[in-house]
């Protein structure tokens, strides 16, 4: 998918919502738990309910791996279901991989061949070698960690370097040269909305994947104010606030409603942006 195609989806749906599929088998509603494939059944119901309001899904690999083989199978089935039923969706494997050489090639093969997602989240610590194999696949993306929303982001990400930049700014400046706006996007935490302005100075045209709106305390309007560009340039992720909106038999309906409410807010923000 190109960035123009992603923007096309955003404009059509009036939404830049990404639903995070952080599916914790321990939080699945009781009536689903007896299913042979509870994680997948939960995801399918969530996807069907939220798809009208969503342009992207982000399965969080940790949750699937923690369930062992059954979890990995549920991840593969979830991606296959998205591909067959909602081929227009942008699917991000939130795996935060970061390795080199033939190992990194193996990860790219896993996520772009064995499982067919659009992008994988990657840690930049080890540099270009971590990212390059992912950029060899036409139409596929690398989603690189830049400035995250967790408290300990200040341990290293904001370390001041002698270039006058903080580490995450060095990451943005160097890594944007490795690819283009059509195959690199960045993770930028919503709790640092005011820092989005300085990030936009370095990467004005790249898509930013913004987690941390809702459960982690970030504000959607702040994110849009500081982070939106003239082709939106944002995917805002929400996980728990949508998929666990309700834990009864009504969970899917409640998730759809929560996604619709975010979409409605996004539609207003998008309209303002596109008028500029």
Question: Which residues are part of the catalytic machinery?
Answer: 96
Q: Which residue has the tokens 């935490």?
A: 189
137 to 156, contacts with a second copy by CB under 8 A? Answer: 145, 148, 150-156
User: By C-beta, is 67 or 270 nearer to a second copy?
Assistant: 67
In whole angstroms, what is the distance from residue 58 CA to residue 22 CA? 8
In angstroms, what is the minimal distance from the CB of 240 to a second copy? 9
In angstroms, what is the minimal distance from the CB of 16 to a second copy? 22
Site for a second copy (CB under 8 A): which residue of 107, 141, 186, 207? 107
- DSSP class of residue 136 equals T
The reply on whether position 59 binds a second copy by CB under 8 A is no
The reply on whether position 128 binds a second copy by CB under 8 A is yes
> Residue 101 — left, alpha, or beta (φ > 0 → left; ψ -120 to 50 → alpha)?
left
Angle between helices 251-275 and 38-50 (to 10 degrees): 40
CB distance 48 to 94 below 8 Å: no
In angstroms, what is the minimal distance from the CB of 163 to a second copy? 8
The reply on whether position 135 binds a second copy by CB under 8 A is no
Strands (E), 54-102: 56-59, 90-97
9 to 48, contacts with a second copy by CB under 8 A? Answer: 22, 24
Two structure tokens written together for 258: 């929560």
84 to 103, contacts with a second copy by CB under 8 A? Answer: 94, 96-103
In whole angstroms, what is the distance from residue 49 CA to residue 34 CA? 21
The reply on whether position 114 binds a second copy by CB under 8 A is yes
In whole angstroms, what is the distance from residue 216 CA to residue 213 CA? 6
User: By C-beta, is 39 or 266 nearer to a second copy?
Assistant: 39
In angstroms, what is the minimal distance from the CB of 8 to a second copy? 31
In whole angstroms, what is the distance from residue 14 CA to residue 62 CA? 30
The reply on whether position 67 binds a second copy by CB under 8 A is yes
The reply on whether position 81 binds a second copy by CB under 8 A is no
In whole angstroms, what is the distance from residue 176 CA to residue 179 CA? 6
By CB neighbour count within 10 A (0-12 exposed, 13-18 middle, 19+ buried), where does 108 fall?
buried
Site for a second copy (CB under 8 A): which residue of 2, 52, 66, 272? 66
The reply on whether position 233 binds a second copy by CB under 8 A is no
159 to 218, contacts with a second copy by CB under 8 A? Answer: 159-163, 167, 170-171, 174
First to last CA, the chain: 26
CB distance 105 to 111 below 8 Å: no
Question: Which stretch in 35-43, 78-86, 127-135, 258-266 sits in contact with a second copy by CB under 8 A?
Answer: 127-135
User: By C-beta, is 9 or 157 nearer to a second copy?
Assistant: 157
Residues interacting with a second copy, by CB under 8 A? 22, 24, 60, 62-63, 65-69, 72-73, 76, 94, 96-104, 106-107, 109-110, 114-115, 123-130, 145, 148, 150-157, 159-163, 167, 170-171, 174
């Amino acid at each position: 998918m190109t960035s123009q195609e992603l923007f096309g989806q955003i404009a059509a749906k009036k939404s830049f919502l990404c639903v995070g599929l952080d599916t914790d088998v321990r939080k699945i509603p009781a009536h689903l738990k007896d299913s042979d494939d509870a994680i997948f059944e939960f995801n399918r119901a969530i996807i069907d309910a939220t798809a009208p309001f969503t342009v992207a899904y982000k399965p969080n690999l940790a949750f699937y791996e923690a369930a062992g083989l059954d979890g990995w199978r549920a991840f593969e089935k979830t991606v296959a279901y998205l591909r067959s039923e909602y081929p227009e969706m942008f699917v991000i494997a939130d795996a935060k991989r970061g390795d080199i050489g033939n190992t990194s090639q193996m990860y790219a093969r896993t996520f772009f061949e064995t499982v067919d997602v659009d992008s994988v989240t990657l840690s930049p610590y080890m540099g270009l070698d971590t990212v390059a194999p992912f950029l060899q696949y036409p139409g596929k993306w690398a989603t690189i960690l830049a400035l995250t929303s967790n408290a300990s982001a200040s341990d290293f990400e904001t370390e001041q370097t002698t270039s006058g930049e903080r580490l995450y700014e060095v990451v943005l400046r160097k890594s944007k040269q490795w690819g283009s706006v059509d195959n690199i996007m960045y993770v930028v935490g919503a709790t640092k909305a005011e820092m989005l302005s300085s990030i936009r100075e370095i990467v004005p045209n790249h898509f930013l994947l913004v987690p941390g709106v809702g459960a982690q305390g970030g504000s959607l309007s702040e994110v849009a104010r500081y982070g939106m560009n003239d082709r939106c340039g944002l995917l805002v992720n929400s996980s728990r606030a949508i998929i666990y909106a309700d834990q009864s038999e009504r969970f899917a309906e409640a998730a759809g409603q929560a996604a619709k409410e975010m979409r409605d807010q996004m539609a207003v923000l998008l309209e303002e942006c596109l008028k500029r």
